[in-house]
Amino acid sequence: MWDKCVEFHGHECPGLAIGLKVSQAVISKMNIKFSLDEEIVCVTENDTCAVDAIQVLIGCTFGKGNLIFKDTGKMVFNFYNRTNNYNIKISLKPMDYANMNRNEKIKYILQSNIEEIFNFSETTAVLPEKAKIYNTVICDKCEEGVAENKVYLVNDKNICTDCYIKYQEGVSK
């Protein structure tokens, strides 16, 4: 599993090791397999290297809509099983890395028992809806396609977020 994660991510690092251990924990605690569609959902509260391992090993991805980023900056991962409504929150316990180099950190994480490095609880967040597929409309300003739910209507024209921000700032193209 480690080699598969490293191949996807591009290098070995402590963050990727944490993601592998999170994946092992959720597989064990929720008794799940790889998510082929949206049956398993992950709401990650960080955008660290750990998330790459979750994509590879659990099958939660942005493209399928079952990986959702909630930016709190915490090393916290909320998982939901749509099949049986079971959920779990996994949070990294504080670790003392002060006297470890990069490789020692990776080795420590990979060799640790999941109970030693994570706290487990029921998540308090609400299960997100299934991913929606929106029609594409053309921005009347930049002429790029944009999902219809991301368009602003300005003077009867469809305006994408980028052009709307420029419009609000008084900048024209």
Domain ranges in the chain? 2-121, 136-168
One DSSP character per residue, 15-36 reads: HHHHHHHHHHHHHHHHT----S
Fold of the 136-168 domain = Wheat Germ Agglutinin (Isolectin 2); domain 1 (3.30.60)
Residues 6 or more apart in contact with residue 1 via CB below 8 angstroms: 20, 23, 24, 57
Each residue of 104-116: b (16+ CB within 10 Å) or e?
A: ebbebbbebeeee
Note the pLDDT of residue 172: 53
- Report which of 63, 4, 8 is spatially closest to residue 35, judged by C-alpha positions: 63
pTM for the whole structure: 0.81
Structure tokens at 150: 């991301």
* pLDDT higher than 90, residue 164: no
Instruction: For residues 105-109, give the mean pLDDT.
Output: 97
Q: What is the pLDDT of residue 165?
A: 78
36 torsion bin: left (phi>0), alpha (psi -120 to 50), beta (else): alpha
Residue 86 pLDDT greater than 80, yes or no? yes
Mean pLDDT is lowest, of 60-74, 97-111, 135-149, 154-168, for 154-168
Measured distance CA(117)–CA(15) in Å, rounded: 13
Residues 6+ apart with CB under 8 A from 13: 49, 102, 106
Each residue's pLDDT tens digit, 3-16: 999 999 999 999 99
109-156 confidence digits (pLDDT tens)? 999 999 999 999 998 877 777 878 899 999 999 999 999 999 999 999
pLDDT at 28: 96
Closest alpha carbon to 118 in 76, 80, 55: 76
The CATH code that applies to domain 2-121 is 3.30.1330.130
Give the per-residue pLDDT at 171.
Answer: 55
Structure tokens at 123: 């998540």
Rounded to the nearest integer, the mean pLDDT of the chain is 92
